[in-house]
Each structure stands twice: as structure tokens, then as C-alpha cells.
Structure 1
Amino acid sequence: MFHQTVALATASVAALMSARTSPSASAQSVGTLAPRPGRDNLGLNEAFKAMPFGTASGAGWTRWTVQWFNMQRDPDEFNTFYFTDSKGENVLDAQIKAGMKVAAMVLGTPEWAAQTPGLKAGTSVPKGLYEPVFNGTVINPMNTWGAFMYRLAQEYAGRMDVFEIWNEVEIPATGSNAVYNTWAGSVDDYYQLLAVASEAAKAANPSARIVTSPYSYFKDKEAGGGESLPWFDAFADVVKAKGAEAFDVVALNLYRNPHDLWDRYHGGVDIAAEPADRTGFRARLEAMGAGSKPIWLTEINAMPFDDQVPGWDAKGREDGFRITMAEQANYVLQSHALALTAGYDKVFFQALQDDPYPVPDELWGLVRFDPDMQNKDVSRGRLGYGAYQLVGEHIAGASRTELHVRKRPDPKKQAQYASRFEWAQHLAVFHHGDKRASVVWNGTDEVSTVALKASGGSAILIDSEGRETPLAADGDGRLVVSLPPASRHFDLFGGDPPGYFYIGGATYLIVEAGVPADAPVDATGFVRQTGK
């Protein structure tokens, strides 16, 4: 990684980050674990697994996986102890008491309720899915899915009101991603699954909200050869024919490239080589009659390789997809900056803590694994956790957001292959009262600068590890910061075009105090972005 060119004080960010005196020391440090208010547009999946880190993260939401086949193992059972730990404590209640709202991802048909027994566990269409949900005003037990969702929503009303219905249902039972297949039904069957869940849950709890299955865009695009999205296009046709009342929110899972978060919302450039990339999901929802529905990012991450944990070969896992922990900290800032300026209603990071060691696939966590949910050892946190706290403190929950970029020429039309090739430097702005945080980073391989007109009475500069230094305006009244070059280039399968880096360089926050609510953003050479 490139070292920053602006000298930063070794003092910690007050009340946010623990003291850091050198790169080697800071690599083993994270922010303090004092609980803090959670932002309503910020989520951290499976936060209950490392509760002190979750409540200190700044996230206002978390997500639990609710497996139907474990909560209702036979028709007459409903496991009211599903959220109880080995000590007899209700972890769901503890999470809520700590201030985090809980969304449930519900999936997994029990074998007794399977329309087609003998399939991969949990994937069958439920029995009676097309039966009436109610007999008069009484729930119909013949519709096994409706009966379960009614009981689930009724039992946890006020504690768990949001239900994601299944996960990545577009992934087929064959092919390279077959291990992630969760649904054996058709697109029509899935729409019916949503419709039944909505009718049943909202009858039991009028505050219930139904979220579509988190959608793996790139897998569906691959199935369509880059020309189309076969599963989503078919789903859109069903929604156009039957109506969008079956769901309240649309969910996407997007990994690794922060620019993709902007493009999947607004659409990529019109010359994008793969036609499917040119249309964003805001426009796709408009076209299918669901234009008023919010879009949530239910999983984002760019997973690192360079950590030594049990059963993990760091050198062997450096495969071109994974990144360094320092780069992940930059990713955390860049991805949330782009997602929240794009317009997503909520953004969930996957996940707070690693899976138990030895790690089966990825280092998913911002925090290393420990079996004790209450463990407070701050050395477990990776650099990305401290960066996440900065998101919670300065980025999420803003009353006003803007994205500005400084563009570079693209005479070879490299944007065909990297939609945001022209975006050389980035400036994402977030207002909280009279405080303004400007997130800045470089997307090129040459050192650059940003010169932002000072709008407040004081300013500090914070790096991705939380180190801060006072920042004074120059003679022209501008806050000038040097931006180190980017280096993370994708080389597999044809790779990124020359000069494009899918994760930008070292990322900084310029935090000003005393900024008027209507103060314009004025940065030399930067232009505001509002769509494609």
C-alpha cells in the first residue's frame, strides 16, 4: 500500500478510536467498544455473534437467518427457543435492548412441508402454496408456508417486523454456484411465496414488511451472457402481470467493486460492453410497476486474504479476488460513500464476525471469530471495523448527501469495460447538522489532490484507521489534501482495462464543523453526479 503524503497526528480520534502510534500497532487495534446510537440506514449482518462490537459499530440494524426447517421441525411444533442461547438467555431480546433492529432472512422448507420430498434440504416449494391463506378469518393450515409466516410474524411482532424471503433464489441447482442454491421452484412459485408471506405476515402484524430474496446480480447476468438478466426479467414480467403488492422492498447482494453499487442503482454508462449493465434497478423497478419500492443492499463486502487465523493459508488465498486488510478498510469507506449517495435506503455489511475456524471459504468478518458472543478483546477487530465505525459516525444517517467526481479523458473508451473509468477522483459529501464530512479518494495510479473550499469554522482530516490531524485552509480558502494512487487492479478473465482500479487508494474524511445547512460543495474540477 502507498503511504499517505499528508502528515497525520498520532493522537487517536477523540472518543472513537484507540491510540495508534505506528502502522504495526494500528493494524492490531480498533475503535473503543463503548455503545453508540445506531444509524437507521446502516446494517451489520449477524451482529449478535459479537455483540459488544455490534453495539459499538454505529449500525442500527442487523440480520438473522431464520431457518424454517429448524424453527418448525414438524407440523405441530414452533420452536419459541430459537433465539435462546446455551445459557438460557434470549439473544434476540438482548440485541433489541442494545438498540439494534432485526431483519429476518427466512428460508428452508422442512421436509414434512415439501411439495417435492427428497430434494436438496430446504429447497422445495412448500405444500399448499397455492391454497388460500385463510379460511374466512382463520389461518389455513393446508398452506404450510402461510401458516408458518403468520405464526412467525405474530410471535415476534414489534421485535422482528422485517422479513427477507429466501436468499439468492436465482442461483440454480447446477453449475459452479450450486452449493448456494436455495430454491427449486419456478419464478411464478417464488412470486407466490412472496404473496403468501405478505398476506399472512401482515394479517398477524400490520407493521410487517416483506423484502424480496437478496439478489445476486452477476450470477444472473452470467446466465444471460451479459445481454439480459433471465431470472430477474422473468420475475419482472410476473410482477407486471400480478402486481407489486407482494413485497415492500427489493434487495441486492453486491460484492467487491464500490463503483458497482452506484451502477446497479442508476445504471452503467450507455457504452457498457454488456447491455444488462446499462440499466439500473431504479429504472427496472419503474418499468415493472414497483418504482416506489426502496432498494436495500443486503450484503456488501470485499474479503481480505492477508490475515493469519487457524486453518487459513494467507499466501495461498491471494487469488486475485481477495484484497488486503488495509484495502478492505478503504473499501468500507468507499462502498458506503457511493451506496448512500446513490440512493439505497439501507446498506448491510456481510458480516460482523468470521465463521468458526478453520474458515471454510472466506474471511467474512470485520472481526475475528470467538465463540463467546460477549468477548470484548479489541484486538479481534480488523482495520475494516475501525473504518466501519467512521461510517457510522460521519457517513450514515446524513440529512444531505452528494457525490462529486473529477473526470479524466477516455479516448480509448475504456468505460466499455469499466463503467466508471472516467471517475478519476471522488468526493462524497454527508451533512449531519452543522457538521459536514467529505470522503475523498483517488481512482488513478498517479498522486492527485483535492482542493475543497472551506465552509466551516474548523476542519480535521481523518484516515481510514481513524488517525486525525487539524486541517487549515490555504491562502485561497481551500482545504487541500494529497490523494495517494490506487493499486488494486483485477487481472483475471481478461482483467480491468489499463489504468482502472476497482478499489481506490487511501481514503480520507475531511470533517468540518460549523457548516451552514445550505453551503454549496465547491471542489476544483469536481462535478456533481446525479445518475448515470
Structure 2
Amino acid sequence: MFRPATALLLVLAALAAAVPAAASAAETGFNATNSSATEVKSISSATGAQWVRQFVRWDLIETRGPGTIASGSLAHLDQVVADAHAAGRKVVVGVLGTPSWASGSSDPMVPPDDPASYGRFLGVLAHRYAGRVAAWEIWNEPDEAEFWHGTVGPAAYAPLLAAAHSAIKAQDPATLVLAAASTGNDYPFLEGLYAAGAGDAFDGVAVHTDTACNITSPDVYYRENGRVGRFSFLGLREIHATLAAHGDGARPIIMTEIGWSATSTTCARGVWAGQKAAGVTEAQQASFLKLAYRCLANYPYVKAALWFNLRDNGAANVELNRYGLIRWDGSNRPAFDAFRDISRNGPGTDGTCGDFSTPSLTVAAPLAGTMYDRTLPISASAVDAHSTLSRLTFYANGARIRSFTGAAAGKVAVAKMTWFGARNLPYGDVTITIEAVDAYGNARRRSVQVRRVDPATLPAQPTRLSLRVAGSGRERTVRGRLGARTASAFTPQGRVRFAWQYRSGTHWVTRHRASRNAAHSFSYRQHLARPARWRLVATYSGNAPFRSSRRVLSSITVR
């Protein structure tokens, strides 16, 4: 978010000098736009800052041609570097801005025609400050069009990075060359650098989390395609994951810009322009600062985080002017005291930062090894102790069966169904998967193997009809069920048929008929047509693998 000052050629960032309380805590620092070298030294000493960040505009240094440095153009940087080195503070320098002679354009944000010309200039600076600059940022936010007025993308930026890396390392092998200084945690851009063959052209990655109108707490994040979102503070995890995936997990991340604006205005830029607040309250700013550094203590690969900005950039109450630890009138914001406390005493370790735990998940049905033919009961429950559940989803062989969202809106959710579509699968093994997802996209999955079988291929199973008649007179109630005589993975299918017969001479005459589903217990009422001697005949005709069965209840006399 570099914004050049009209009175200065360079933009600073200062950082803490005290040793942090925890070995893994990120070292502190701040940017210092519109601050003199004297103020940078004074505030760094007063707060205990450990780093100083400084921007250099190449177009304002070599104004007339290569190798010709404008008189006094490096005096400010000379003083900042000298003061920091004497006090044991680290310096990171970002270099951007192309002279017109190197680009053929009057626009300094157009990259040079020949990346080697930029590399040569970086070599001059690296030689001048060898052993006293801890890290060099190659350009500023080249992943977006605000500071890169050319074709935006890793393939366009990679040659500049490679040229700078070679030239700097030739003059100062121990210094770090930082890639990208990206807008947000732009891990797709980093991945693109590897794809462009620039994986060996940087020693670490710089990121900026003070993105336009950011008012979100550092412990809150969103996901993009399953990964932590680029514009989330905790997207730094994905920067590290990308490095680690290429065998470079030991490379450091330096958050060269971190901050929240304390403006009270509405967002005026970016995708949220006119749709939300542009800043937070001063109390929230201080609270977010403290939480951010405490969050970073959980990530030892983040070596330093530099607050943007030391001082407000102007009197007007707009977003870009209200990031300062110090107000425009010179008074300290609450964030200044919070920064000083963390620089001197460390961020503390109380509490976690961000919910990355997965929900607990219990699958009640089906059990592993279950055999079925027509329908399949599925039931599961989930609990999330840290946030709320977003959904429970059932899958079969990777295809979604159903998602339950309304029932999964709290910390506990239960979902169940009888899946009739199971009959459409081919016979054979089926993998049933249940997925529980919380509000942050953290997912837990459990799978069980079941098998759809053709009942006709199973050994025949004898059945038994249990039957009971209650009531008096002509009103009778029939209750019972059909079951297998031995344990079975299936429930008998088909119908149980009933015939009410009365005695006429030597014959039984059928007068009433009914049927019920054989898969369930049955109960129904029957009004008998006449006084007589009655009997009830219940018949199940069989449905593979279940055999037929018959039961007769006789000697029911109705007077």
C-alpha cells in the first residue's frame, strides 16, 4: 500500500528492537511515511521496534541515466540504515519506480523494458548497504495493477525478480530477497512464480494484509476452493503451504504491511466501494493489532510483521490517511501503546487464533458391512465446539445424495433419511460418506462400506407370521407382523394378504379381504358382516429370498 509523500522521496517502515518474549513470535515493525530519519530513530527506540522498512524510488534516484545517482537522493536512506545498524535493528528496503529512460514511459509504475537494468540498480544499492540491509523487496504489489502498469501476472514479474536476485546476491549473499510483496496473501501468484521458473529467484515472501477497507478481525477467515482466502489475515497459512509444497517450507514470510484504518468513512475503493465501512474504531484498531501479533506467534515461519503506518498520511478523514499509530495532530492512538507493549513484552500466548478444528462426527447408520437391496437408512450426528455447523452431507461413491443445512445451523446437528435412490445403484460394494462442515469450511468425513445385493441370489429364508385378533362382536382389530425365522440383513418385501371367512355348512366362504405391507408391523380394524363362526387366514406369497408362509386363526364366533 505504498503511497509516496510529496515532501519525501522515500517511504519508511520501522520495527522493534527488543527481543520478543516467545521465540516464535514475529518481530514487530512499522512503516513511516512522512517521517524523518530522526523520528524513525526516536520512535523505534521508544517502542522497541526491531525492523525498519524503507521504500526507494529508482525513478527518483537515477533520474538522468544508469549509474548517475541524483545528489542527495539517498541521504535519507543512508541515515535510516546507519541508525538502524548502530541500534541492532533490521532494515527491509522495497525498490520500485522506473526512470523514463529505462521504460520509454513517463509513468514510473511501468516496469523496465529490460529487467537487467533494474537488477543492475539493485546491485548498486546492495553493494552500498552490504551487511546492513536484512531484506530487499522486489517492487511493490506487482500482483495488482495499482503499482504494476503493464501486463499483470507472475510470468511478467518473474524476469524482474530473477534479475534483482542475481545482482543483490552477488553483492551481499547473506541478505534476503523477498518476492512479490503481494496484495493480501496471494498464494496463486506465488504458485505462478514457481510455474514461471522463478522458484530459485527469492529467499522469502513478503505479503501485505492491510488491503482496501479491511475491517475483519485477524482471527476470522473465509475459504476459496477449500483454501484459506487470499484476503484473510490467516491466508498466510496458504503462502507457507505453497512454499512447503515446493520443498521451500523453511523460507520465511515477512508481513511488510499489516494494519487497519481508523477512518469513520464508507469504503471508496476496491470491490466493496460504497458497500461497507472503510475502517474500524480506534479501540478495535488497537485490539486487532494485539490479536494479530498474538496470532502470528502460532506461525514461526512469519519472521516479522510491520505495521502500516507510523503516522497518519494526511489531515482528511479518509481510509488511506488513518492507518497511523500516531494521529495527524501528533497524538498517539491506543494502537501505539499496544504496539509498544508487544514490541517490548511480546504478544502473549493466551487463546487460539482462528478455528481450524474439524467437527466431531458420529455415523449411526449404516454400519460397515450392511447388505441392502431397495432402501438404505443413513443417519449421522455432528458437534462443533468452536463455531457453528454449516451442513451435513451424505455421499454414495462420491456423488452427493443430500445436504442438510437448516438442521445444521447450531453447534449440534443430527441428520437422517431413508434413501430410496439406493435401489438405482448397481449391485456390489457401495461407499457411503458423511461429511460435516463448520462455518469456516473445516470438514470431517467418515466412510463406511456397504453392499447392494440381489436378494434372489441369497439362500432361501423361512418366514413366520405372528397374528393376533382382539375385540368383540363384529368389531375386530388385527395386529401382527411378518418376520424371518433366522437373522437376515433384509426385511421381507411384498404384501401380507388377509381373508375373513365364515362357515357355511361344510365350507368356508370368504367375505372380507385386506392387505398390508410385509415390511412393517400391521394393524387394522375389520367390521364383520354377519353373526357366524369366522376364521382369519393370513398369507404371504414369498419374495426372494423369503419363503411364503400362512397362518390361520379359527373359532372366532360372532353372535
Shorter-chain TM range is 0.5 to 0.7
1:58 aligns with 2:44: no
1:293 aligns with 2:254: no
Give, in angstroms, the shift of residue 353 of structure 1.
Answer: 1.1
Give SS of 1:292's match: coil
Please list, as runs of the form range in 1=range in 2, the aligned pairs for 1:276-291 lying within 5 A after superposition. 280-291=238-249
Mapped to 2, the partners of 1:199 and 1:186 lie a distance apart of 21
**Does structure 2 retain, via aligned residues, the 8 Å contact 1:305–1:363?**
yes
Give, in angstroms, the shift of residue 203 of structure 1.
Answer: 0.9
Give SS of 2:389's match: coil
Match of 1:94 in 2: 83
Match of 1:37 in 2: 18
Match of 2:137 in 1: 164
Mapped to 2, the partners of 1:191 and 1:214 lie a distance apart of 13
Please list, as runs of the form range in 1=range in 2, the aligned pairs for 1:105-144 lying within 5 A after superposition. 105-114=94-103, 117-118=104-105, 120-124=107-111, 126-129=112-115, 143-144=116-117
Q: Quick one: which of 70, 77, 81 aligns to 2:72?
A: 81
Match of 1:340 in 2: 297
Match of 2:263 in 1: 305
* Percentage of pairs with the same residue: 23
Give, in angstroms, the shift of residue 298 of structure 1.
Answer: 1.4
Match of 1:250 in 2: 205
**Does structure 2 retain, via aligned residues, the 8 Å contact 1:250–1:294?**
yes
Mapped to 2, the partners of 1:261 and 1:123 lie a distance apart of 36
Give, in angstroms, the shift of residue 106 of structure 1.
Answer: 0.7
1:364 aligns with 2:323: yes
Give SS of 1:210's match: strand
CA offset digits 1:217-269 (Å, max 9, x no partner): 37x6xxxxxxxx7644432322xxx35221011111113467657869xx889
Query: Residues 319 and 193 (structure 1 numbering): CA distance in 2 closer, same or farther, change over 3 Å?
Result: same
Match of 1:458 in 2: none
CA offset digits 1:491-518 (Å, max 9, x no partner): xxxxxxxx99xxxxxxxxxxxxxxxxxx
Q: Quick one: which of 28, 32, 45 aligns to 1:46?
A: 32
Give, in angstroms, the shift of residue 150 of structure 1.
Answer: 1.2
AA matched with 2:57: Q
Match of 1:149 in 2: 122
Mapped to 1, the partners of 2:354 and 2:163 lie a distance apart of 44
Match of 1:375 in 2: none
CA offset digits 1:72-112 (Å, max 9, x no partner): 11224124633435xx9934423443443211011111111
**Does structure 2 retain, via aligned residues, the 8 Å contact 1:123–1:184?**
no
Q: Quick one: which of 316, 320, 329 aligns to 2:286?
A: 329
AA matched with 1:69: D
Query: Residues 183 and 342 (structure 1 numbering): CA distance in 2 closer, same or farther, change over 3 Å?
Result: farther
Give, in angstroms, the shift of residue 356 of structure 1.
Answer: 3.7
CA offset digits 1:124-174 (Å, max 9, x no partner): 2x2433xxxxxxxxxxxxx312221111100111222410001111113xx
Please list, as runs of the form range in 1=range in 2, the aligned pairs for 1:131-530 lying within 5 A after superposition. 143-172=116-145, 178=146, 180-181=147-148, 184=151, 186-217=153-184, 231-238=189-196, 242=197, 244-255=199-210, 256=214, 260=218, 280-305=238-263, 320-343=277-300, 344-358=302-316, 361-369=320-328, 380-395=331-346, 403=352, 407-412=385-390
Mapped to 1, the partners of 2:91 and 2:131 lie a distance apart of 10
Match of 1:69 in 2: 59
Give SS of 2:192's match: helix
AA matched with 2:165: S
Mapped to 1, the partners of 2:135 and 2:230 lie a distance apart of 34
Task: Figure out how many residues of one structure are paired with residues of the other and give that number.
Answer: 331
Query: Residues 280 and 231 (structure 1 numbering): CA distance in 2 closer, same or farther, change over 3 Å?
Result: closer
Query: Residues 288 and 259 (structure 1 numbering): CA distance in 2 closer, same or farther, change over 3 Å?
Result: farther
* Greater RCO, 1 or 2 (C-alpha within 8 Å, sep 6+): 1
**Does structure 2 retain, via aligned residues, the 8 Å contact 1:237–1:288?**
no
CA offset digits 1:416-470 (Å, max 9, x no partner): xxxxx999xxxxxxxxxxxxxxxxxxxxxxxxxxxxxxxxxxxxxxxxxxxxxxx
Mapped to 2, the partners of 1:318 and 1:54 lie a distance apart of 37
Give, in angstroms, the shift of residue 354 of structure 1.
Answer: 1.3
Give, in angstroms, the shift of residue 59 of structure 1.
Answer: 1.6
AA matched with 2:326: V
Match of 2:452 in 1: none
AA matched with 1:106: V
**Does structure 2 retain, via aligned residues, the 8 Å contact 1:103–1:160?**
yes
Query: Residues 118 and 154 (structure 1 numbering): CA distance in 2 closer, same or farther, change over 3 Å?
Result: same
Match of 2:363 in 1: none
Mapped to 1, the partners of 2:236 and 2:100 lie a distance apart of 41
Q: TM-score, normalised by structure 2?
A: 0.51
**Does structure 2 retain, via aligned residues, the 8 Å contact 1:298–1:349?**
yes
Query: Residues 357 and 259 (structure 1 numbering): CA distance in 2 closer, same or farther, change over 3 Å?
Result: closer
Give, in angstroms, the shift of residue 119 of structure 1.
Answer: 6.4
Query: Residues 209 and 401 (structure 1 numbering): CA distance in 2 closer, same or farther, change over 3 Å?
Result: farther
**Does structure 2 retain, via aligned residues, the 8 Å contact 1:164–1:214?**
yes
**Does structure 1 retain, via aligned residues, the 8 Å contact 2:220–2:354?**
no
**Does structure 1 retain, via aligned residues, the 8 Å contact 2:228–2:237?**
no
Q: Bigger CA drift: 287-296 or 148-157?
A: 287-296
Mapped to 2, the partners of 1:113 and 1:158 lie a distance apart of 28
AA matched with 1:37: A
Q: Runs of 5+ in structure 2 lacking a partner? A: 1-15, 21-25, 266-273, 356-384, 393-408, 412-438, 441-559
Q: Runs of 5+ in structure 1 lacking a partner? A: 1-34, 130-142, 173-177, 221-228, 308-316, 371-378, 415-420, 424-498, 501-532
CA offset digits 1:276-320 (Å, max 9, x no partner): 97972221112234322111211111111259xxxxxxxxx9952
**Does structure 1 retain, via aligned residues, the 8 Å contact 2:221–2:229?**
no
**Does structure 2 retain, via aligned residues, the 8 Å contact 1:108–1:182?**
no
Match of 1:436 in 2: none
Give, in angstroms, the shift of residue 413 of structure 1.
Answer: 5.2
Mapped to 1, the partners of 2:130 and 2:231 lie a distance apart of 43
Q: Bigger CA drift: 190-199 or 45-54?
A: 45-54
Mapped to 1, the partners of 2:410 and 2:294 lie a distance apart of 18
Mapped to 1, the partners of 2:106 and 2:130 lie a distance apart of 32
AA matched with 1:390: D
AA matched with 2:68: E
**Does structure 1 retain, via aligned residues, the 8 Å contact 2:295–2:353?**
no
Relative to its length, the structure with more strand (as a share) is 2
